[in-house]
Amino acid sequence: MPPTPASNPPAPTPADSTDSPASFQRRYAAVVAELQKVVVGQRLVIRNALICLLIGGHALVEGVPGLGKTLLVRTLGQALDLQFSRIQFTPDLMPADIIGATILVQDAAGARSLEFQPGPLFSNIILADEINRATPKTQSALLEAMGERSVTVGRHTHRLEEPFFVLATQNPLEMEGTYPLPEAQLDRFAMNIMVESPELPDLLAILDRTTGQIAGAVRAVLAAADVLEMQALVRDVPAASHVKQYAARLVLATRPESAGAPDVIKKFVRYGASPRGAQTLLLAAKACALINGRPNAAFSDIKDFAVPVLRHRLALNFEGQAEGITRDALVQAVLSAVPEAGD
């Protein structure tokens, strides 16, 4: 007997749909709430790290020791029902220690065969702790994984499971025993997120949490399917042509050979941002629009993410390094020189 109309479940409203902007906001807020159970303050760091995940990018988190960089990434892994791996980068770490290796195995019948044993890179969230302590050879093992979502060992290419998110940390002060990240790898990080020292209220809150009773456990509030839905929704957010042009003109202005580059760029920069910078700027603007409940990306979103997206993509020349020019100041100069409305 067919069910009566009253027994059928009501159709979901647009606000209840899992791929609606309202659902995106709720799920994003749920993750932030779980992170804030453990991580005190650092709201901008949390926002930028989550946006890197939601646009399908990777994040390079930089700050002096003791600011909670590793804690942030570990807590993010707990708040998401995803496979999490932590890789402690050291000078003796080899590429096979990350990627995996093909080994000779023997079955119960005595037959031998070659079998690929995946390494810790085969997870959804990768914490690459102190990434600049590994040799360039090991650092480069991440290039294909970060760019192509795959790993090639011998003649075989192995796909990585989506979502795939690398969150690397490094200490900007302690240079002994470290290896600077190659430019090709820096460009694969969507953002370079700087962790600042806490102010007095946040420092007092840290003392309360870490010297008193143990804080509440972090719940997993998003699964892999949720993250993939949110990533797809970000790409569906419209951006007007003049907003796209503004992002493109900002990136072009970071190149010293560009006619629209400000004088400080031409004087102190060896080369500027790649097209990945423009792609990341626009995607971050779209994600920010969804978080704030707006239907489309705006100029303000582009400006908001210009520094974390572009700072690590600018290579200083010798004169810039000698004079101690900061990349943040150069990005601010670009923002001041490039108007919202094009010619």
pLDDT, tens digit, for every residue of 161-202? 899 999 998 877 666 667 888 888 889 999 999 888 777 887
If asked whether residues 52 and 194 sit together in one domain, one would say yes
Q: What is the pLDDT of residue 276?
A: 92
Instruction: Give domain status of residue 273, yes or no.
Output: yes
Among 200, 235, 270, the domain boundary falls at 235
For 301-306, what is the mean pLDDT? 94
Q: How many domains does the chain have?
A: 2
Q: What is the pLDDT of residue 192?
A: 93
If asked whether residues 45 and 85 sit together in one domain, one would say yes
If asked whether residues 156 and 257 sit together in one domain, one would say no
Contact indicator for 48, 308 with CB cutoff of 8 Å: yes
If asked whether residues 157 and 36 sit together in one domain, one would say yes
Contact indicator for 256, 269 with CB cutoff of 8 Å: yes
Taking all residues of the chain, what is their mean pLDDT, rounded to a whole number?
Answer: 85
Instruction: Give domain status of residue 330, yes or no.
Output: yes
Among 235, 268, 290, the domain boundary falls at 235
Percent of the chain with pLDDT over 90: 38
Q: How far apart are CA 251 and CA 145, in angstroms?
A: 25
CATH number, residue 185: 3.40.50.300
Q: What is the pLDDT of residue 76?
A: 86
For 222-247, what is the mean pLDDT? 92
For 200-208, what is the mean pLDDT? 78
pLDDT at 84 over 80: yes
Q: Residue 189, exposed/middle/buried by CB under 10 A (0-12, 13-18, 19+)?
A: buried
What is the span of the domain harbouring residue 185? 16-91+121-235
Q: What is the pLDDT of residue 177?
A: 63
The counts of H helices and E strands in the chain are 15, 13
pTM: 0.85
CATH number, residue 248: 1.10.8.80
Q: What is the pLDDT of residue 245?
A: 94
pLDDT at 2 over 80: no
Q: Tell me the pLDDT tens digit for each residue of 33-79.
A: 888 888 877 888 889 999 999 999 999 988 777 777 777 888 888 88
If asked whether residues 20 and 53 sit together in one domain, one would say yes
Q: How far apart are CA 87 and CA 89, in angstroms?
A: 6
Percent of the chain with pLDDT over 70: 91
Helix axes 21-35, 43-54, angle to 10 degrees: 130
If asked whether residues 183 and 278 sit together in one domain, one would say no
Instruction: Give domain status of residue 8, yes or no.
Output: no
pLDDT band at 231 (very low <50, low <70, confident <90, very high): very high
Q: Tell me the pLDDT tens digit for each residue of 86-126.
A: 898 988 888 888 988 888 787 777 788 777 888 899 989 99
If asked whether residues 74 and 145 sit together in one domain, one would say yes
For 237-241, what is the mean pLDDT? 92
Among 203, 219, 235, the domain boundary falls at 235
Instruction: Give domain status of residue 106, yes or no.
Output: no
Instruction: Give domain status of residue 6, yes or no.
Output: no
